[in-house]
Amino acid sequence: MTEAPAAPKARRQRHDREIIALAVPAFGALVAEPLFVMVDSAVVGHLGTPQLAGLAVASALLMTAVSIFVFLAYATTAAVARRVGAGDLAAAIRQGMDGIWLALLLGIAVIAATLPTAPWLVQIFGASDTAAPYATTYLRISSLGIPAMLIVLAATGVLRGLQDTRTPLYVAIGGFAANAALNAGLVYGAGLGIAGSAWGTVIAQCAMAGAYLVVVVRGARRHGASLRPDSAGIRASARAGVPLLIRTLSLRAVLMIATAVAARLGDTEIAAHQIVLSLWSLMAFALDAIAIAGQAIIGRYLGADDAEGARQACRRMVQWGVVSGVVLGILVVASRPLLLPVFTSDHAVHSTLLPALLVVAVSQPIAGVVFVLDGVLMGAGDGSYLAGAMLVTLAAFAPVALLIPTVGGGLTALWWAMTLMMTVRMLTLWLRMRSGRWLVTGATR
């Protein structure tokens, strides 16, 4: 009589241990990129508002160029985790190596496209005449680090699928420390200005990619997986990533529209938007740590033909997401007097930034559900649904955001539109989770 209620409690405790073991280290690795941007924002912000505005436009373009290929991490995590659940480690790592080769090829292509078009991209994105030269300089230099960034994505996906989030944490810590030191030294010590910030990020990213390659290559040799590029495997990796590419392009379109609208509101608004977006990204990646745990855990359960275990893990992770969102929102409100002076001493930027930051704090519980369910469905390989859901979200957000310069409301109204976007995402993902159609078992989907 007393043991029946203990079984659910024991399952929750087991899921909690799994989530904590994967999510805590994953958090450190996930926040590496927004921390890179935050360091750049803090260092460049004290050069002046035009420089910070230029960084805002360039970093949004750069992160778009990189983030559209985030499927290199997400799809690889899900596929590798399924094979881990099925007990086929050699095949798992082989697929991961194909993803790394694909990352290198894509990175080279992005450099070739970005270098000659940088001034045009900055202009199209709405940078002012004072901010455009800084944006162009930062974008051109930073694009040289894109192949390294994509290799980091692919290699991280392999390790997450193998249920290893500690190694990415160690690499991320080293990369962040190197980036901070290089930025300070090159921007102020060497007097390179915004160009020094870009070079510091490139060097740090290349060092991180090298560290990941050492770890993955050792694992491939240990399990007998080939290191040579396989054209069929590379094509298969690319095809598997297409739905997630559509999903990510739609999400990046949302962020690009938001930045373009902020740029047209003025230099003060775009500078404030850059700071809010940096903090929002940091919190998003913090919540995504639970989602990364979800990708690895859900993929492993489904690969082991345990649909009920996957369902229970999903429910527990949603609870974690809500609580984490509430905590993050409270932290933002409590720490805002300390946060603002870190990024800029411009009081006009402070006044514009504060109400938008409060909107972000209120929306964090919604974000907690969104990022967790996004990760769960990625872990299940449900990319086609994610693509369609994000297209619906983009269609709801775009007309609202684009009306803001006309109807007024400034940056605060823009971030209310971002909250609308997250609410639509939450509804579409929740409906899919409730349907159970994502619970497809087996070593491959």
User: What's the pLDDT at 2?
Assistant: 39
Q: What are phi and psi of 443, to 5 degrees?
A: -70, -25
Q: Where are the alpha helices (DSSP H) in 304-382?
A: 307-343, 347-362, 364-379
Q: What single DSSP character describes residue 190? A: S
Residue 261 burial by Cβ neighbours in a 10 Å radius (0-12, 13-18, 19+): buried
Q: Which residue is it, tokens 């990619």?
A: 209
Q: Which residue is it, tokens 């162009």?
A: 136
Q: Which residues contact 89 (CB under 8 A, 6 or more apart)?
A: 83, 162, 223
Find out whether 286 and 42 touch, Cβ atoms under 8 Å. no
Q: Say how many C-beta atoms besides its own lie within 10 A of residue 310's C-beta.
A: 26
Of 326, 323, 289, residue with least CA distance to 28: 289
User: What's the pLDDT at 31?
Assistant: 67
User: What's the pLDDT at 309?
Assistant: 87
User: What's the pLDDT at 323?
Assistant: 93
Which amino acid would we find at residue 63? Answer: M
User: What's the pLDDT at 4?
Assistant: 44
What DSSP assignment string belongs to 28-70?
HHHTHHHHHHHHHHHHHHTT-HHHHHHHHHHHHHHHHHHHTTT
**Predicted confidence pLDDT, tens digits, the chain (445 residues):** 333 444 677 777 787 888 888 888 887 776 666 677 777 777 777 777 788 888 888 887 887 777 788 888 888 888 888 888 888 888 788 888 888 899 999 999 989 988 898 888 888 877 777 888 888 888 889 889 899 989 998 898 889 988 888 898 888 888 888 888 888 888 887 878 888 888 988 999 999 999 999 988 888 888 877 788 878 878 878 887 899 989 988 988 898 899 888 888 887 888 888 888 878 887 887 788 888 888 999 999 998 888 888 998 899 999 999 999 999 999 988 887 777 777 766 777 777 788 888 899 999 999 999 999 999 999 998 989 999 999 999 999 999 999 998 887 788 899 999 999 999 999 999 999 999 899 988 877 7
User: What's the pLDDT at 393?
Assistant: 96
User: What's the pLDDT at 429?
Assistant: 96
The model's pTM is 0.79
Residue 312 burial by Cβ neighbours in a 10 Å radius (0-12, 13-18, 19+): middle
